[in-house]
Amino acid sequence: MGAGAASATEAAKNATVEELKTTIAGASPEQQQKLTDALKGLEGRSVVEDEAPGAGGPCPGPVDCSVISTVAKDFKGLSTQPASPKFKGALVQIYVRTQKLGGTDKSSSGNRYDSLVMANGMIRSGLSCQLIHYTHEEHDKFFELCKSFDFIIVRCEPGQIKADGGDQRKFDDGMRAIRDMGIQVWPSPDVMEKMGARDALCKVADMNIGLADTLAYYTPEEFSAGFKKTMAFQPRVIKQARGSSGEGVWIIKLKNGNYCQEFGERLCDDSEVLTLMEANDNHHEEHTVAEFIEFCSNGRTDKSGTWTSEGVGKYLEAGGQLVDQRFCPRILEGELRYNLIADSLVGITHKKPQEGGISAVGGTGSTYTYYEPEEALFKNLTTSFLEKDLPLMMRALDLPTEPLPLWWTVGFINSSPEGTPADQEKWIVGEFSCSCVGISRALAACHTVGGGGGG
């Protein structure tokens, strides 16, 4: 860039809009054409893409975020923030400093792989959305900064704040205080806690999307008594309190298949052998009823046998819970994930497990097929869920005054016998997810999937 161009750039930066209009009007036709061609060349491109302001400062936008540390390496790909936004928003992330690139959900910039996608959507709608990171050492400064925004979007995976040395409860209490000030927080800590917990399935058991024989256990004694009764009747799925990776979700069958005909007709003996598959990686194990109960209650002990699971068990400690649900064999055909923005369905994903597997969580070789919200194949489920169950759901989950999450999903499993006509099929909810739902089509930006270059 020559000296003349540099001085022109400085003059343009310091000029008002009216001064620029006057200057352009007085220019020659050739000069006006040059300016028109230059502006056309910038169409659809953010200035941020070239300047990478994060490398030298906080995320650009209407709120000065320099009071907290800038954790991200850059903000390449973030669109230019509106000069006069309708509302000012922040997207909160957590960088786990002991993990590669801050965690498995990060791009190489240190931002969550889908943060830019979400922020740019806000910006296109006339809102500002600045990316900020929470660090527990700057807790007070961080929440003082949050008071400058009109809304907060929390994008911190469960367990990440603790993994970085922070206190999840302290963070949640801070967000509750922000919400009490009238600043919207999505999802609020209470919504995240109650919707994400597995016993949410028990609270919707009597709805169209529920199964009446869904049970929750909160103590080892409850689990031992209940599981021996349900396991003797049908194959089961036992799920730990929360999480969406499939760890601690067990598909269980009696090895000898001697199920009773009527529920409660008999109880399993401690010595009966179970075949188990864990949903996070579809691996198989065999254990006795007593060993499984011990592992779930107390983890790896002399009484639990030898486990190959990556998990540690002891799901009931520190206020934990286990949910016991009927196994639906048609899970082998795949599950549906309904993607919602508040009460609007925006897409349907069919996730089919790899041959020989049951779980379709990411990393297990499952196949994803994407459908529009109006897909005729699922019309009956869509209509029933949106019109009958959704309006009652927050009250059923003991959240009557809370809004629906901003970005959340519902996982559905077909519980009907094979051969059931499509218009009579019953789809039941397998999980709600709202804590940090990923945007599947942005996965290529994640460093563990596509390299994550450039945010």
Average pLDDT, the chain: 86
In the prediction, which pLDDT does 13 show?
A: 54
Residue 223 CA to residue 195 CA, distance in Å, equals 22
Cα gap 154→36, rounded to integer Å: 41
Same-domain status, 86 and 176: yes
Judge contact between 285 and 309, C-beta under 8 A.
yes
* 184 pLDDT higher than 50: yes
Nearest to 367 by CA among 333, 342, 407: 333
Rounded CA-CA distance 440/211 in Å is 28
Strand partners, 217: 322
CB atoms within 10 A of CB 139: 16
**According to the model, what pLDDT value does residue 297 have?**
96
384: which DSSP letter? H
In angstroms, the first-to-last Cα distance of the chain is: 28
Which residues span the domain enclosing 301? 215-327
Q: Is the dihedral of CA 169, 241, 444, 105 positive or negative?
A: positive
> Do 164 and 225 fall into the same domain?
no
The pLDDT tens digits for 43-79 are 443 333 333 334 458 999 999 999 999 999 999 999 9
Whether residue 144 lies inside any domain: the answer is yes
| pLDDT score of 21 more than 80 | no
**What is the distance between the alpha carbons of residues 183 and 147, in angstroms, rounded to a whole number?**
8
Same domain, 52 and 182: yes
Residues 176 and 222 in one domain: no
DSSP secondary structure of 51-82:
H-GGGTSSPPSSS--TTS---SS--TTPPPPP
Domain co-membership, 152 together with 141:
yes
Say what the pLDDT of residue 173 is: 97
SS3 126: coil
Instruction: Answer for the pair 24, 32: CB distance below 8 angstroms, yes or no.
Output: yes
Do 455 and 447 touch, CB atoms closer than 8 A?
Answer: no
Percent pLDDT > 70 in the chain is 82
**Cα atoms found within 13 Å of the Cα of residue 356, Cβ hemisphere only:** 6
Q: Give the model's pLDDT for residue 46.
A: 35
* Residue 147 belongs to some domain of the structure: yes
d(CA 359, CA 280): 7
On whether residue 206 sits in a domain, the answer given is no
Q: Is the pTM of this model over 0.75?
A: no
Are 260 and 385 contained in the same domain?
no
- DSSP per residue, 3-58: HHHHHHHHHHHHS-HHHHHHHHHTS-HHHHHHHHHHHHHTTT--HHHHH-GGGTSS
DSSP-derived secondary structure letter, 385: I
In a domain, 168, yes or no: yes
- Do residue 383 and residue 352 come from a single domain? yes
Instruction: Please report the pLDDT score of residue 396 as a whole number.
Output: 95
- The CA distance from 446 to 434, in Å, is 20
Pairing of strands 88-93, 151-154: parallel
Q: State the total domains in the chain.
A: 4
- Phi and psi dihedrals of 240, rounded to 5? -70, 175
Contact 238, 296 (CB under 8 A): yes
Mean pLDDT of 90-107: 92
CB count in 10 Å sphere of residue 27: 13
User: What pLDDT, on a 0 to 100 scale, did the predictor assign at position 243?
Assistant: 56
Of residues 439 and 92, more confidently modeled: 92
Across 18-32, 113-127, 359-373, least confident range: 18-32
Kindly report, residue by residue over 395-438, the tens digit of the pLDDT: 999 999 998 999 999 999 999 988 898 888 999 998 899 988 88
Separation of alpha carbons 184 and 166, rounded Å: 23
Q: Label residue 245 by pLDDT band (50, 70, 90).
A: low
Name residues whose C-beta falls within 8 Å of residue 197's C-beta, 6 or more positions apart in sequence. 241, 242, 321
276 shares its domain with 346: no
pLDDT of 268 above 80: yes
* Cα–Cα distance measured from residue 94 to residue 98, given in angstroms and rounded to the nearest whole number: 12
Q: Which of 297, 327, 357 is the last residue of a domain?
A: 327
Among 312, 327, 342, which residue terminates a domain?
Answer: 327
Residue 39 tokens, joined: 């502006």
- 444: which DSSP letter? G
Name the phi and psi angles at 422, rounded to 5: -55, -35
Residue 353: other Cβ atoms inside 10 A: 21
- Residue 454 domain flag: no
The vertex-146 CA angle with 453 and 98, nearest 5°, equals: 45
Residues 376 and 409 placed together within one structural domain of the fold: yes
Q: How far apart are CA 52 and CA 108, in angstroms?
A: 14
Domain contains 237: yes
| Cβ atoms of residues 289 and 223 within 8 Å | no
- State whether 69 and 183 are in the same domain: yes
**Residue 313 and residue 336 in one domain:** no
pLDDT in tens, 301-342: 999 999 999 889 999 987 889 999 999 988 888 899 999 999
Say if residue 380 is in the same domain as residue 274. no
pLDDT of 1 strictly over 60: no
Task: Please check whether residue 346 lies inside any domain of the structure.
Answer: yes
Which phi-psi region, left, alpha or beta, contains residue 110 (left: φ > 0; alpha: ψ -120 to 50)? Answer: left
